[in-house]
Chains A and B, each alone.
Chain A
Amino acid sequence: MEEGRGRALRALDYMWGGWGAASSLLLLTALWEAGHAAYGTLVLPSPRDTVASLWDMSAAGKVLPAILETSRNALGGFLSATVAGGILGGMAGASDMMRRLLQPIATLLLGIPAIAWVVLALLWFGGTGAAVSFTVLITTAPIVFAGAAQGARTLDGSLRRMARSFRVPATTLIRDVYLPHMLSYLFPALATGLALSWKVTVMAELLSGAGGIGDGLAVARVQVDTVKAMAWVLAVVGLLLAVEYLMLEPIRRHLQVWRREMPGSGDIQAGGF
């Protein structure tokens, strides 16, 4: 009963927080309109024209397939990165030797610009979705790796000893001791990785012509159609906002319940994009 009330209050609090986000987005739209009034349609089309163009493209059946294509490319790469980065990071966190072996590689991969990977992926895979997914994998895996390594490395030995002393089964050990600890490090890394995935995907699609939102942007650029370009930008921003606020933020809040009233828990940082 008490628990249910607390949960309802937290949900209400979360939704109320949405007003703040809505106000800041409306303010940005107002600035956008002002920019349009100052520089004209060719430089910055008005928000209304952009929305109308997005609407027309949606009606013509162009937007949804593009969003699905982009999501497939981004999520394909991101899920592979999560598996590879998570496993290798867990190994690096558990063993010093593995960390010494893998850490320099992760640092090196992080240092290579995403655009360089796009070029290499195009040469290796041609202008296909595989090139896009590969670029996402290679740019986000080091981020997931770092989070997983940190999570596995900082596992509290005394908690492990306590759990062993109660002879709890391995599944309980993983679910109640290892996973919650790992997630507190891994989740921020995953959120950052996912946000980066969309950006890298659009960039790789733009250069590869492999379909998706990036391809739409490339066509708009060729046609010097700023309104269409802005409409695609709007589509990708809408996608990012939906993923952030409908998926990541509720998970983040759920995972962070136990940190309530801890110092610094008042303003939970967004994964950021």
Chain B
Amino acid sequence: MAGLEVTGLGHAFGPQPIVEDLSFSLPAGSLGCLIGPSGCGKTTVLSMIGGLIAPGSGRIDHAFRHPVFVFQDPCLLPWRDARDNVAFGLKATDMDRKTRRSRAERLMEAVGLAPEDHGKFPHELSGGMRQRVALARALAVEPDLLLLDEPFSALDVGLRRQMQSLLRRLIAERDLTALLVTHDLAEAVRLADHILVLSPSPGRLAASHTLAEPFAARDDGFVHCMVNRLLADPATAQALAMET
């Protein structure tokens, strides 16, 4: 099955190049992690793939019809309750309000939000619940490509683990392809099938690693060993030097 193919991608804000000659591919149905130091253009790459920014140079080829974003900040509408927030993306379709809301209900259950929370406004929900709402909102539009921009970085460790498991489960159940931006190598090792390491600004592909172990087998010991093994690779260690 065709996946995502990025060839010679470049982008600059004014005279400052942010991303330069970036090439990588991601098979469909897999989870890729873009990792790199702050300011290396990870979010810019994600925005270009999702069509929010036009690429300065290079090509992005994929056959995905519904790419969708999950941001670091859940970006919920404060004046809409959780149900209407989840249904928000569906307003781009011709679905009527009742169908939108019933689909939102189903997805809120899928991401583990209790029925009594469905009518709550964002300020009445905890950080983890807000991120679940954002995830449900993304899944509601039935995407085939999930673009996740550090979605769990604001959560505490326990909550982050829960959300990581949920994400892997949803990706498997729904046969999604996902590209996740993170600056945390341990998170990448825990989640990814493919780790794409970007160099400091301007971002280029410094190294790429493929992990074959099933998600269930990736316990703390595995993550620890694998992080050390990846950092033994000079290109990866050099690219992430600012973070480690």
Contact = CB atoms under 8 A, between A and B. Distances in A.
A164 B67 CA distance: 12
Given A3-B119, A166-B68, A258-B79, 5 more contacts: A165-B52, A166-B88, A166-B92, A168-B88, A258-B121
Interface of A: 2-3, 158-159, 161-169, 172, 176-177, 180-181, 184, 258-262
Given A258-B78, A258-B80, A158 B71 contact: yes
Contact of A2 (B68, B119, B141): B119
A176 B88 contact: yes
B91 A176 contact: yes
Contacts of B29: none
B224 interface: no
B77 A180 contact: yes
B123 A262 contact: yes
A164 B52 contact: yes
20 contacts: A3-B119, A161-B52, A161-B75, A163-B88, A165-B50, A165-B52, A165-B69, A166-B68, A166-B91, A166-B92, A167-B92, A168-B91, A180-B77, A180-B79, A184-B79, A258-B79, A258-B81, A260-B121, A261-B123, A261-B124
A256 to B, nearest CB: 9
Query: What is the interface of chain A mostly: helix, strand, loop, or mixed?
Result: helix
A169 B92 contact: yes
B73 interface: yes
B75 A158 contact: yes
B34 to A, nearest CB: 17
Chain B interface residue number, banded? 20 to 34
A165 B53 CA distance: 10
Contacts of A3: 119
Given A258-B121, A260-B121, A168 B77 contact: no
A166 B91 CA distance: 9
A161 B44 CA distance: 13
A159 B92 CA distance: 16
A168 B119 contact: no
B127 interface: no
Given A162-B75, A180-B79, A168 B92 contact: yes
Interface string B41-78: 00000000010100000000000000011010101011
Contacts of B92: 166-169, 172
Contacts of A167: 92
B80 A176 contact: yes
Nearest to B81: A258
A261 B124 CA distance: 8
A8 B45 CA distance: 50
B1 to A, nearest CB: 24
B77 A159 contact: yes
B89 interface: yes
Contacts of B73: 158
Contact of A166 (B121, B124, B141): B141
Among B50, B52, B79, which residue has the most Cβ atoms of chain A within 10 A? B79
A180 B52 CA distance: 24
Among A2, A176, A260, which residue has the most Cβ atoms of chain B within 10 A? A176
A189 to B, nearest CB: 18
A205 B141 CA distance: 58
Contacts of A161: 52, 71, 75
A188 to B, nearest CB: 15
Nearest to A159: B75
Contacts of A166: 68, 88-89, 91-92, 141
Interface in B123-140: 123-124
B60 to A, nearest CB: 16
Contacts of B69: 162, 165
A167 B91 CA distance: 9
Contacts of A180: 77, 79
Contacts of B88: 163, 166, 168, 176
Nearest to B74: A162
Nearest to A183: B79
A177 B76 CA distance: 10
A176 B89 contact: no
Pick the 5 closest A-B CB pairs, nearest first: A162-B75, A166-B89, A180-B79, A258-B79, A165-B69
Nearest to A184: B79
A176 to B, nearest CB: 6
A219 B119 CA distance: 57
B115 to A, nearest CB: 10
